[in-house]
Amino acid sequence: MHETSFILLPVISVNVMKMAILSSAMFWGILLILAGVSIILKLVFGINFPFFRVLFSLFLIYMGVRMLLGTSFKSTDQKERVVFSKTNVQYDRSNPEVNVVFGSGEIDYTQVEVEKGMPKGKVNVIFGNGNLYINENIPMRIQVTTVFGGSRFPDETVIAFGEYVYRTKAFEEGKPYLKVKADVVFGGCNIISEK
C-alpha cells in the first residue's frame, strides 16, 4: 500500500460530506469489506490489493452519481430512489420522479388518470435497469434518451444511443396525455405494454 494515496483525497466540502458519508452505513460497510478482502488477498494469495486507490475510486463514483442525480447530501426533495436494490414503484403525481442507480426498478404507469390535467413523469436510469409498464388505452408520450445503454419499446424499436419518442395507441395530439421523460446512462430501459 502507498501512503501517498491519502494526498489524492479531495478537500471539497469536507464539513458537509463528513456527516453524510462518514456516518453512512453503506460507506462503512464497503470500507470494511475492502479492508478484509485486501488482507485476505495479501496474506493468502500474496496479492497486494490497492485498498486506498479502490476506496478513492468508489468515492469518486459515489460523488459522480450524486452529481448526475442532482441531489445534495441533505436532500429533502420528493424523489423515489432505487439504489443497489430492486423496487416496484406505482406512479404518483405528487412524487413523479424515479431514480434507478445500480439497481432495478419496476415503474407502473398503467393506472394514471390523464383527464385531470397533464401529468408528468421522470425516470433516470444510471448503471441499472428500469421497466416502465404502460397501458395502450392511456394517452402517453414517452421520450427516452439513451447514452451507452439499451432501450426497448413495444413497437420493437431498440436504441443504444440517441433519443426516441413512443406514443401509445390512445395518444391524440392536442388532448391531455401523460408525458414521461426517461434518461438512460450505462443502463437499460424497457417500455412494456400491458394490453
Please write the tens of the pLDDT for every residue from 87-136.
788 888 777 888 888 888 899 999 888 876 778 899 988 888 999 999 99
CA dihedral 163→167→173→177, nearest 10 degrees, is -100
Tell me what the pLDDT averaged over the chain comes to: 76
Residues 6+ apart with CB under 8 A from 39: none
Q: What is the pLDDT of residue 36?
A: 80
Cell numbers describing residue 24: 453512512
Residues whose CB is less than 8 angstroms from the CB of residue 45 and which lie 6 or more positions away in sequence, other chains included: none
Confidence of residue 5 (pLDDT cuts 50, 70, 90): very low
Q: Is the pLDDT of residue 10 over 90?
A: no
So what's the pLDDT on residue 61?
74
In whole angstroms, give the CA distance from residue 117 to residue 114.
Answer: 6
Query: Is pLDDT at 11 greater than 60 in this prediction?
Result: no
Global confidence as pTM: 0.59
Residue 190 has pLDDT above 90, yes or no: yes
Residues 113-116: contacts with CB within 8 Å, 24+ apart?
114/138, 114/139, 114/176, 114/177, 114/178, 115/176
Phi and psi dihedrals of 161, rounded to 5? -155, 125
> Which residues have CB under 8 Å from 176's CB, separation 6+?
114, 115, 117, 118, 139
The pLDDT, as a whole number, for residue 25 is: 64
3: region left, alpha or beta (phi > 0 left; psi from -120 to 50 alpha): alpha
What is the predicted pLDDT for the residue at 130? 92
For the stretch 133-152, pLDDT in tens is 999 999 999 999 988 889 99
**Residue entry with cell 395502450:** 136
